[in-house]
Amino acid sequence: MRFDQHTLVLFSRPADAPELPRDAADLLHDTHLAHQAGLVEQGLVLAAGPFVDPDDPALRGLAVLPISPDEARELYANDPAVRAGQLVVRVASWLVPEGNLRYESVGVPRSMLEAAAGD
């Protein structure tokens, strides 16, 4: 059997994340979303999104990439939320039977306002 290899990036909030004023946190979240959208537009992210009601409240989201784990680490080292210490990433390779997953190109939000619009 053949396998496709993807890279998974797991986002979590570190216990020692600095506290930010609400407006600064909102701006940082928007810059994180814009960074993610830019990676999607470049074809570097196949799918990404936040977790809802995870067992571990530190878990924030996941991204699936068609690149090597080292390349993914480098991309997310430049994520504004990672640089600000609000998120940490864990990276792993993921094997699935060849052709098992298909991704379609869809728009992603570049800000919380755009995500809330629901369009």
> pLDDT tens digits for 13-27?
999 999 999 999 999
C-alpha 115/C-alpha 82 separation (Å) is 20
In this predicted structure, the answer to whether residue 111 has a pLDDT above a threshold of 70 is: yes
In this predicted structure, the answer to whether residue 38 has a pLDDT above a threshold of 70 is: yes
* Percent of the chain residues past pLDDT 90, beyond the cut: 82
In this predicted structure, the answer to whether residue 119 has a pLDDT above a threshold of 80 is: no
Q: Give the residues across from 61 on adjacent strands.
A: 11, 50
C-alpha 22/C-alpha 3 separation (Å) is 44
In this predicted structure, the answer to whether residue 118 has a pLDDT above a threshold of 80 is: no
Tokens 């990439």 correspond to: 65
* pLDDT, tens digit, 9 for 90 and up, residues 51-68: 999 999 999 999 999 999
Q: What is the pTM of this model?
A: 0.88
77 touches 54 (CB < 8 A): no
Q: Give the model's pLDDT for residue 39.
A: 95
Q: Give the model's pLDDT for residue 42.
A: 93
- Taking the CA atoms of 77, 86, 91 and 68 in sequence, report the sign of the dihedral they define: negative
The three-state DSSP-derived secondary structure of 49-111 is EECCCCCCCCEEEEEEECCCHHHHHHHHHCCHHHHCCCCEEEEEEEEEECCCCCCCCCCCCCC
